[in-house]
Amino acid sequence: MGEITVEESNKNSGKNDRLEVLKTYKMYIDGKFPRTESARYYQPVVNESSLGNVCLASRKDVRNAVVAARSAQAGWSRRTAYNRAQILYRIAEMLEGRSQQFSDELVRQGLDVETAESQVSESIDRLIYYAGWCDKYQQVFSAVNPVASSHFNFSTLEPVGVVFTVASRDCPLLGLVSLIAPVIASGNTCVVLASEKCPLSAVTFAEVLATSDVPEGVVNILTGRIEELKEHFSRHLDVNAIACDGLESGLITEIKEFASENIKRVKIYHQDWSNESAANPYLIQDFCEVKTTWHPIEQISESGASY
Amino acid sequence: MKQSRTARVFSSPAIDQVGVVERAKRFTARSIKSQAKREGLGMVLSMIDLTTLEGMDTEGKVKQLCYKAQHLHDSIDGLPNVAAVCVYPNFVGLAKRSLAGSGIKVASVATAFPSGNSSLEIKLADVSMAVSEGADEIDMVISRGRFHGGEYHFVFDEIAAVKAACGESRLKTILETGELGSLDKVRLASDIAIAAGADFIKTSTGKIQPAATMPVTLVMLEAIRDHFQKTGLMVGMKPAGGISKAKLALHYLIMVKETLGDDWLDPKWFRFGASSLANDVLMQISKQQTGAYQAANYFAID
- Domain holding B289: CATH number? 3.20.20.70
* Residue B243 lies inside a defined structural domain of this protein: yes
Computed over every residue of chain A, the mean pLDDT equals 92
Interface test with B, best of A64, A237, A264 (most B CBs within 10 A): A237
Is B189 among the domain residues?
Answer: yes
Task: Catalogue all structural domains in chain A, each as residue range(s) with its CATH number.
Answer: 24-141+153-274+283-288 (3.40.605.10)
pLDDT at B297 over 60: yes
Q: List pLDDT tens digits, range B91-102.
A: 999 999 999 999
Tally the C-alpha atoms within 13 A of residue B229's C-alpha that lie toward its C-beta.
8
Q: How confident is the model at residue B3 (pLDDT cuts 50, 70, 90)?
A: very low
Interface touch B298/A237, C-beta < 8 Å: yes
Mean of pLDDT values over A13-26: 78
Whether A214 has a pLDDT exceeding 80, the answer reads yes
CA A235 to chain B, closest CA, distance in angstroms equals: 6
Chain A residues whose beta carbon lies within 8 Å of the beta carbon of residue B292? 235-237, 261
Report the share of chain B in percent with pLDDT over 70.
Answer: 97
Query: What is the residue range of B269's domain?
Result: 2-295
| Tens digits of residue pLDDT in A236-257 | 999 999 999 988 899 999 999 9
Interface of B with A in 271-300 (CB under 8 A): 291-296, 298
> Any catalytic annotation for residue B257?
no
pLDDT value at residue A306? 54
Q: What integer pLDDT is reported at residue A301 of this predicted model?
A: 62
Are B292 and A236 a contacting pair at CB < 8 A? Answer: yes
CA distance B79 to chain A (A): 21
Inspect the interface and report whether the beta carbons of A235 and B294 lie closer than 8 Å.
Answer: no
CB contact under 8 A, A237 and B295: yes
Residue of A nearest to B283 (CA): A237
> In this complex, do B296 and A238 lie within 8 Å of one another by their Cβ atoms?
yes
Cβ-defined contact of B293 to A235 (cutoff 8 Å): yes
Whether A236 and chain B come into contact, CB under 8 Å, resolves to yes
Say what the pTM is: 0.88
Q: Per-residue pLDDT averaged across A225-243, rounded?
A: 97
- State the pLDDT at residue A9: 47
pLDDT grade for A302, boundaries at 50, 70 and 90: low
Q: What is d(CA B98, CA B102) in angstroms, rounded to the nearest whole number?
A: 9
* Structural domain includes residue B302: no
pLDDT digits (tens, 9 = 90+) for B10-21: 678 999 999 999
* Three-class HEC string of B22-82: HHHHHHHHCCCCHHHHHHHHHHHHHCEEEECCCCCCCHHHHHHHHHHHHCCCCCCCCCCCC
CB B145 within 8 A of CB B114: no
Active site residue B202: yes
Report the distance separating Cα B252 and Cα B32, nearest Å: 12
pLDDT at B5 over 70: no
- Is residue B24 in a domain? yes
Show residues of chain A in contact with B294, CB under 8 Å.
237-238
Question: Which ipTM was obtained for this model?
Answer: 0.83
Does residue B8 carry a pLDDT above 80?
no
* Structural domains counted in chain B: 1
Residue B150 lies in a domain: yes
B247 is catalytic: no
Quote the minimal CA–CA distance from A258 to chain B in Å.
10
Note the pLDDT of residue A1.
Answer: 42
